[in-house]
Amino acid sequence: MKKVSLNIIHQEIVTFNDLPSDVKVFFKSKGPFVKRITSLNFENRTLSENVVYFDISTIDKPIQNRLSTENIPIGKMLNSMENKRVIVSHGFKEYDELRNSYLPHSILKSTYPYKEYIIIRNENCWFHITEIFHSKEIVSCIADK
């Protein structure tokens, strides 16, 4: 059985001041934070791309270690832990609304279905995630079945 794989495109440590203003509101502490850009792929197709922010000071050391050493989706990693996902917004966004969020990575010019959500554990926002979906690639994968 073929599996979806995670590709880490970019990862860097950033300060609270480096966070987009619409992301800052979800975090209680001042960091430091990690900005992580990833893609979910099936075969040679990119299904989605994600910008993830997380506060290093609030996340358990074992989770931090897994994030730095494993290519595993965050949701899968947290599957066995109590957490709450809250959708902040969803819909469609244009390339111009998204491109700066994904820097230094570049995304294709397009209109994307997207989902913005946070993952909460122990009453703290652990992750802020914006995920854009490559709908043509997803449909293509389904059609190939």
Containing 6, the helix (H) or strand (E) segment is: strand 4-14
Percent of the chain scoring above 70 in pLDDT: 96
Q: In this model, does residue 76 exceed pLDDT 80?
A: no
In the chain, count H helices and then E strands. 5, 6
Determine the Cα–Cα distance for residues 66 and 34; give it in Å rounded to an integer: 14
Q: Per mean pLDDT, which range of 29-33, 38-42, 54-58, 137-141 is the poorest?
A: 137-141
What average pLDDT does the structure give for the chain? 86
Strand, helix or coil for residue 46: strand
| pTM over the 0.85 mark | yes
Determine the Cα–Cα distance for residues 122 and 135; give it in Å rounded to an integer: 34
Determine the Cα–Cα distance for residues 65 and 44; give it in Å rounded to an integer: 28
- CA-based end-to-end distance of the chain: 12
So what's the pLDDT on residue 44? Answer: 84
Please give the biggest Cα pair distance in the chain: 46
